Structures are given as C-alpha cells and as structure tokens.
Amino acid sequence: MQETSSIHGAWASRWIFILAATGSAVGLGNIWKFPYITGENGGGAFVLIYLFCILIVGVPIMMAEVLIGRRARQSPINAMREVAIESGHSGKWSAVGWMGVLAGFMIFSFYSVVAGWVLYYIAGMGTGDFIAIGSDDAGKVFNNLLADRDTLIIWHSIFVVMVMLVIAGGVQKGLENAVKFLMPALFVLLIVLLGYSMQSGGFQQGWGFMFHFDASQLSWDAVLTALGHSFFTLSLGMGAIMAYGSYMPKKASIGSAVLTIAAMDTLVALIAGLAIFPIVFVNGMDPGAGPGLMFITLPVAFGQMPGGQIFGFIFFLLVGIAAWTSAISLIEPATAWMVEKFGWKRLPSCIFLGVIIWILGVAALGSFNFLSDVKLAGFNIFDFMDFVTSNIMLPLGGLFVAIFAGWFMKRYASEHELAISSPTLFNAWYIVLRFIAPVAVAIIFILNLIEKLK
C-alpha cells in the first residue's frame, strides 16, 4: 500500500497517542468495576490472571487494530476495506468497521446519560448537597434524579455538547489539546484522592481487600471475569483504537505503545481502588454495591468525613474526566467516516451526529421514567442498547479483527507496520493473534450471551 497520511491530521508524538488511547480505555468501569472484581476474586492472584489475559487477548488485538488503522490512515470502515483489498480480499470486510462504528455510536448515546449523572453529582458535591447525608436520603436523591426526565435531559445535553465541541476541533486542535489537558488532570486528581484515602484510617483494609493473594478464590468464573474485562477495558471492537491508530506517527512503535497503554489503564484502575475502598471501609459500607457504590455509597461516605465535600467533588470530577475522554473516542470513528464519505467539515458532521445521539440518549434516559414501559426483547431501551453493544457487537468486532489480521491480512503488511526487530517476538504475537485470541474472545462472546439470557 502506498504511504499515505490521514486527511484528519496526526498526533504530534507517540506519547500523545498513548495519552489519547489511555483516555479511551480509562472509563467509568475502571473507577469501580475493576477494583471490586479484583477484591472479590482473589486480590493479587486475580490481578496476575488479569494481566496474563491482557497479554494474550487485549494487547494482541489492540496491536492489530492500531496497525490496520495506521496502514490505511482512514476511518475504521474505509480502513478495513482498503487493507482487505490490498491483501487481495473483498472490500466487504468494511462491515467489521461498520459494526465497530455503530457500536461506538450506540454506546455513546447511553453512556452520555450516565455521564450526565456524574455531572449532576459534580454540581451537587460542589454546592454541599451531600454534607452529612444518610444512606436513605442518598438513595432518594439518586432515585429522584432517575425519575426527573427534564433534569436528565439537561445534563445529557451538556455532556453531548462537551464531547462534540472537542471532536469538532479536529485531531490537533480538538482531540490532542483535550487529552494533553484532561489526562494529566485525571492522574493528578487520582493521586490527590489516593493521598486523602491513605489518611482516612481504612487504607490497610482497602489494600488487603484488593491485594491479598488468595488463590483459593480463583475459580473458572474468576478466570472468565478476568478474560472478559481484559477485552472490554481497552476499548476494543468499537473502532476507537483503529481510528486513533490512523493518526499515529509512522515511526512510533506500535508494540511498546500498546503495552504502555495496557499498563497505564491497569494502573489507573488499581489506584482508583486504593483511593475508593479505604473510604468505603472506614465508613462501614459495602464494597460490592455495584453502580450504587458510585452514586449512593460514596456520596454518603464523603458527606460524613472531614474535608469530604472537597474530596467528593474531586472524585466526581475525576470520574467526569474519565467519562469525557472515553466518550470522545466513541464518536471520533463516525465523525471521521462522515468527513471522508461526504467531504463535510467537522462542525456540521458533529452537529448531525450529535442530534442523532441526543435523540437516542433521550430514549435511553426515558427507560427510567417516561418510557419505562417500552420493552425491546424483554429489556428497557437503556439495557437493550447496553446488551446489544457489550455482548454482541464488541466481542464480534474484536473477533473479526483478530481473524482478519491473523488470517486474511498479508503478513508482510503486519511486519512492516509493527516493525518488530525480533522475529521471535513477531511470531509470538502472530501465533497468539491467530490461534489464542480468537478462541478467547469467542468464549467471552458465547458465555456472556448464555449468562445474560438466563
């Protein structure tokens, strides 16, 4: 394939790509889900299993997505088509790109609803609404928020505008400037929160919950949990990483960049757990509260602690930044495709996509109030969109990317893009991508479906 450059621009450096991709990977799940599943599945023993799964599933497929994107320098839809044609195969492989772009589009539409909750709580913490609040009252605040259609629409709308303003600025003025500010801010806030947590009196208990090495708790279910999270945590299967890869500098090493992203994503999740769970334990609360941990348990905990209003505000600001950087990556592939397909400028493309996303988001938030009676295959609208994307579209997207890069894409193209000096290391990646990663993702796909449809 002839050397090309993206019409959308390029990241200024390898580290900007790493920050952007880490921002895509670090989302709401890092803040509460990973720390919780670590504590419940053997602590340090689970972390080792998870890191192994990252190496055999997450990293190989992420490298494949990045190299396909950089090879074609186009949106995932066009990149899959161009690389397939270059390899002597049908351009219909673009369907994999389509599925990823649509998945990201759908995820953003309901993700923005949850992000709207976070913005509401940032404001509430800032104005002192949760000072000395009890569990019952905190539960009422959250339930009243879900029932309040107009308030949900306002915060959902604000978040959509926040994301679209960044996307409209393009790669350098929008995405790059955003991640250069937001990602360092995220790390600073995380460290500040960790320091506060270490002084809370529950740090030792939180550390023990997450890092006690209890191999007896490692079960087949724990391995599957680690396998599933290792895939989903890196934003695979939705076109985001492929799009970001298309802006990656030509001389940057894909392998080392992807390993750095995986390490940073895991580190953020572990530090988040060490920042959150001591606060939960010192207040005698349940660390396994799921989503309620963020919106009910933690506001109560912060509301009862010295300086809790300030650090509660910092916590939700941290979560808001994580949601913002993730959401930017969700809609970038669709925006890039519209610019390529129709020759539109970014601003009208963002307005067009933003309106559609806003409508879908209103339907999703309606699941908690005015559309609560509407069911799709037994799910409300919000849960249906979550189920279809998380359990069908993303695993299939990752599976087909692995199969395409491992079995259909010309080997020399992969060798050229990865530029791995050691033939042994390249062969190891190639074997894992062809034989191990597809089987692992197929297992995730099948077992997730069985579990959800019980």
Q: pLDDT, tens digit, for every residue of 83-136?
A: 999 999 999 999 999 999 999 999 999 999 999 999 999 999 999 999 988 889
Q: Containing domain of residue 365, as a range?
A: 14-452
> For residue 131, is it within any domain?
yes
CATH number at residue 114: 1.10.4160
Give per-residue pLDDT as tens, 69-80: 999 999 999 999
Residue type, 36: Y
> For residue 48, is it within any domain?
yes
Q: Average the pLDDT over each of 98-112, 307-321, 440-454 and give the range with the smallest value.
A: 440-454
158: exposed, middle or buried (C-beta count within 10 Å: 0-12, 13-18, 19+)?
A: middle
Find out whether 128 and 326 touch, Cβ atoms under 8 Å: no
| Residue 177: predicted pLDDT | 96
| Residue 290: predicted pLDDT | 65
Domain count for the chain: 1
Give per-residue pLDDT as tens, 290-310: 667 789 888 999 988 888 899
| Residue 213: predicted pLDDT | 84
Q: What is the mean pLDDT of the chain?
A: 93
Letter string b/e over residues 281-309, b meaning 16 or more CB atoms within 10 A of that residue's CB: bbbebebebeebbbbbbbbbbbbbbeebb
> For residue 9, is it within any domain?
no
The answer on pLDDT for 451 being more than 90 is no
The answer on pLDDT for 448 being more than 60 is yes
Find out whether 97 and 75 touch, Cβ atoms under 8 Å: yes
| Residue 285: predicted pLDDT | 81
Q: Report residue 175 as tokens.
A: 């995405």
| Residue 304: predicted pLDDT | 86
pTM for the model: 0.94
Residue 432: pLDDT band (50, 70, 90) is very high
> For residue 7, is it within any domain?
no
Residue 2: pLDDT band (50, 70, 90) is low
